[in-house]
Structure 1
């Protein structure tokens, strides 16, 4: 974009003739377009999860069939495009992917991330369709559960987490990939360096682009706190309660799942409350004997946030 600066002139008192001030006309200065940090974050997330998927199936020992992420991606792209086309038609608007190849690429980034997350974190043995079901639910959640905030419809639930959680609830024979899954073929120092590398990259990404460090800090601190409460009040083993924090699954959840920009608050106070609430809900679920608590806790927290936004909008604190 360029900014045109016209030559300044003075108008004669009779209004008939402009008078030149003699000031030279400056040249136009081009404004460098700023890149959207949310798009940059999505691009980094997509590259990270793609690299991790490839390394996982070639070097780390992922136990799903190698065809799983490929089919999940195809179904993810197709379902995302189909649902966006239908929603655009229903609301008489132009689809978000229309206009340019770049618009299409940016639109497909969330679908890409969600598809690979479902393919990586779920384990359906040799059956492929539970992964595909999770991917479709992931994309559908962005259209089924949403609120109008400041004139724009926004999704409430974390898409990939919702797809995983719904699949776990409906099909009790489907589980989460076991902890050893992420470093199955690695031994010694390398088995520790991989989680540390994921942690460092994820932390830098969230600090620089998503600005979700307050949320991460609150979530991790809340997780430690709920472990202490369970130890003191319910006689749970403290080491066992803290042990999930050492796994790659917890690191991935902390840096790449709970920090979803579209379904989490932007203010520091809101992020802290969101992180602490997720940890508290997780503690309650564990005490209730419910497995896979990380994913269910995030769904419940997102729904609670949606309820708070509804109440705030009804009171006029949030523009509709």
Structure 2
């Protein structure tokens, strides 16, 4: 049978995500009320493209292979740049740096570079384990204390009444379709939401935090975007259901600890910490597996005979009849 080859669901997910975040930025500057300058997302995207292409060329030369964006024409280049496109728009959309665009561009470069600098072996190949946009945002927040997250009201500044809820419903619906059909991260989302509720109630009981206020965080557009498009990044989260549950619950627990300790921007730092722990875990699995293999080889070498027995040729066991007669 002949037909078109099946499309990679990861590529389809990236394409849909890129379209969604682009549409959100267009609406943000025309309808919602984004605070950043309108040309900044363009500068961020171009910076991400350049950084991604340069690092890919350098990496391909070091690994003696062809760059991944070659061989399939324009389509191959476009599909290769989907992650960079998403990362750039996310970093610019979620950071507020006043009028210092260079700080935003620095965050974009850090986010893209982290995919090359922070990698762990997964199924025999190195893969990045830090959520790119979250990593770039976290580094900027740590290095520049005067920087803040974009004000949450920017997502609904020019909306009122029932239109506020329509936006949330649209984001949740599209995010559920994306994660349910393509990324398969619904286990992660479920555990993240359930444990988030649990930590909010626990903080209210132990730390005298307002439980309704802690739970009210879940109704904001920023939280909905984080849940559907940030914490579920398929490239830096596990695929198995049990591992997804552990990852989502881990982010919620770390968030509760950070927020209970009065650490701001807990969502981003919690995600970065859990991604870092997962990367260390992947490296520990790889090293322990390699150590077991080396011990097995060493044990096999020690138990193997040093000199193999050489069988005696049959011709030396008997004297030829002619030679016996002569004797």
Are residue 98 (structure 1) and residue 32 (structure 2) matched? no
Deviations 1:253-283 (A, max 9, x none): 1000111111000000000000000000000
C-alpha separation in 2, matches of 1:90 and 1:317: 24
**Shift in Å, 1:31:** 4.1
- The match for 2:220 among 243, 247, 262 is 247
Judging changes above 3 Å, is the alpha-carbon distance between structure 1 residues 130 and 319 closer, same or farther for their aligned structure 2 residues? farther
Q: Which residue of structure 2 aligns with residue 66 of structure 1?
A: 38
- The match for 1:221 among 194, 200, 206 is 194
- The match for 2:255 among 261, 282, 293 is 282
Unaligned 5+ residue runs, structure 1?
1-28
Are residue 40 (structure 1) and residue 12 (structure 2) matched? yes
Kept after mapping to 2: 8 A contact 1:274/1:301: yes
Unaligned 5+ residue runs, structure 2?
294-327
Deviations 1:147-204 (A, max 9, x none): 1223311001000110011001100111101111101111111122111111111011
Scaled by the length of structure 2, the TM-score of the pair is: 0.87
Aligned residue for 1:262, secondary structure, equals coil
Which structure is higher in helix share?
2
Q: How many positions carry a matched residue from both structures? A: 292
C-alpha separation in 2, matches of 1:178 and 1:53: 15
- The match for 2:91 among 110, 118, 121 is 118
Aligned residue for 1:263, secondary structure, equals coil
C-alpha separation in 1, matches of 2:93 and 2:20: 13
Kept after mapping to 1: 8 A contact 2:121/2:286: no
Deviates more, 1:274-283 or 1:232-241: 232-241
- The match for 2:181 among 186, 200, 208 is 208
Scaled by the length of structure 1, the TM-score of the pair is: 0.89
Q: Which has the larger radius of gyration?
A: 2
RMSD of Structure 2 on Structure 1 (CA):
1.6
C-alpha separation in 2, matches of 1:236 and 1:151: 46
